[in-house]
Structure 1
């Protein structure tokens, strides 16, 4: 196998060895700080009943009125495929693949981001202790606190890590497609939680923001780790 010397020849995704150049951790730290501020704002708005939270009752009522048999079936499938358990399985499968390719930093990145994201949103739920929407409007079971949405948080983190790993070596068109597909999936997962009556709209918005902030933290840590590894190579 030829030695990879040209950055443009780096393998993409999880099909081969890791790219020889590590990302710049400083950029990730700056993005993490900005998204962290946005996440705090989103959590505060939902908890205080301002901003997106002003739309909570109206969005929930509209979702209930728009329910049909077909939409409900699709929403249930999407919400289960985007559940925290399903995202955990996806992350572990990706991590196992990366580990088999001796990309241990990348494997830890995917699995660690998923596991830590679940700890983060569960801690926030217990801290904020926001009640879910009324039980008589729910179409699926939900037992924990409402804020933030765990589905939204975990979907952003897990799908986001896969997009980050798939980024090197891709064309601009493919990258745009990756971002669009990821955004559509994460958006769909979050909106099903409102449609199914188990989350307020502001819970989902906060979940997306918390997920984005935590993804940025994990990417910054991963970038720093890989940068050190590259510098250690003589």
Structure 2
């Protein structure tokens, strides 16, 4: 019996066999990252751990500002904004849908939309003020914790890595993960450099994004176990 179409493709277009789903492993990863996200949020709210570096890192970023760095930081922060990442997810989802990969399209779009709801709810819950306005180089609204840029970048870029992973060789996977980590890291750090987030906001955003992505991957893995025929 042939597998369902959604269980075969990887990347954004080429059909290759996907590895067998691992719902238990994926669920454990989601739980571990969820606990890490809770720890990051707690540290930011209480001012312990990495949050103790907030003032020093913000001051250091202000002192390190140059015209060239500021232009680069503004460009990266706009390209990594929640709006830009949402557009990227929508375009990827549309491509997947037109390629008759509707489950993957739902995965990307659903993970992105869910991430938006999660970080906005957390902002409302904690209500943490942003750094002083006189040090901000770009306009920012809403509460500070967690960073929406950091959260959304992890989820969208991570979801695309998940889809591309099965069809890539080890060297390509390493390059892909490195590039993704550098981009997500750069997007988050520009928020500190531009004075609109504390470092602990960004760290919490990365962790919240990773936890949410892991939960979506676990749900996808669980769904695949229901639609993938068992070997006989």
Mapped contact 1:20–1:230 kept (Cα < 8 A): no
Task: Specify the alignment match of 1:7 in structure 2.
Answer: none
Task: Specify the alignment match of 1:116 in structure 2.
Answer: 114
TM-score, scaled to structure 2: 0.94
Q: Using the alignment, how far apart are the partners of 2:155 and 2:169 within structure 1?
A: 23
Distance 1:103 1:96, change over 3 A: same
Distance apart, 1:27 and its partner CA:
1.2
Q: Using the alignment, how far apart are the partners of 2:66 and 2:142 within structure 1?
A: 26
Partner SS state of residue 195, structure 2: coil
Distance apart, 1:106 and its partner CA:
0.4
Q: Using the alignment, how far apart are the partners of 1:122 and 1:95 within structure 2?
A: 22
Partner SS state of residue 197, structure 1: coil
Mapped contact 1:17–1:103 kept (Cα < 8 A): no
Task: Specify the alignment match of 2:127 in structure 1.
Answer: 129
Distance apart, 1:203 and its partner CA:
0.3
2:103 is aligned with 1:105:
yes
Mapped contact 1:96–1:107 kept (Cα < 8 A): yes
2:177 is aligned with 1:171:
no
Correspondences of 1:1-234 after superposition (within 5 Å): 12-17=10-15, 19-231=17-229
Distance 1:201 1:137, change over 3 A: same
Mapped contact 1:14–1:97 kept (Cα < 8 A): yes
Distance 1:18 1:129, change over 3 A: farther
Q: Which runs of 5+ in 1 are unaligned?
A: 5-9
The superposition leaves residues 2-47 of structure 1 with CA deviations (integer Å, 9 ceiling, x where unpaired) of x99xxxxx76411234635552121110000000000000000000
Partner SS state of residue 37, structure 1: helix
Q: Which runs of 5+ in 2 are unaligned?
A: none
Q: Using the alignment, how far apart are the partners of 2:130 and 2:170 within structure 1?
A: 41
Mapped contact 2:161–2:176 kept (Cα < 8 A): yes
TM-score, scaled to structure 1: 0.93
Distance 1:106 1:232, change over 3 A: farther
Q: Using the alignment, how far apart are the partners of 2:164 and 2:208 within structure 1?
A: 22
The superposition leaves residues 203-223 of structure 1 with CA deviations (integer Å, 9 ceiling, x where unpaired) of 000000000000000001111
